[in-house]
């Protein structure tokens, strides 16, 4: 198995606590899971709607840049 990316369950940004949410989607290739950060379940649902309407592929992730 290759390298892993670890995601914090929550992060503080500009004084707000953003929580990690998961979403599932199905394609002819199978069922998959994605992740996004939001401040509440309602916010996560809004962000998912925005993703559905506006998401675009920006490239393949090939590594992590350490600070």
For 18-36, write each residue's pLDDT tens digit: 999 999 999 999 999 999 9
Alpha carbons 64 and 66: distance in angstroms, whole number = 6
The enclosing H or E element of 42 equals helix 41-54
Rounded to 5°, the CA angle 53-57-62 comes to: 145
| Residue 1 confidence class, pLDDT cut points 50, 70, 90 | low
Residue 6: band (very low, low, confident or very high) from pLDDT cuts 50, 70, 90: confident
pLDDT at 3: 75
User: 51: how many CB neighbours lie within 10 A of its CB?
Assistant: 13
pTM score above 0.75: yes
Average pLDDT, the chain: 92
């Amino acid at each position: 198995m290759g390298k892993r990316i670890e995601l914090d369950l929550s992060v503080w940004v500009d004084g707000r606590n953003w929580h990690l949410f998961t979403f599932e989607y199905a394609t002819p290739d199978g069922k998959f899971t994605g992740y996004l950060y939001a401040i509440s379940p309602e916010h996560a649902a809004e962000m998912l709607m925005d993703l559905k309407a506006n998401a675009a592929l920006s490239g393949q992730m090939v590594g992590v840049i350490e600070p």
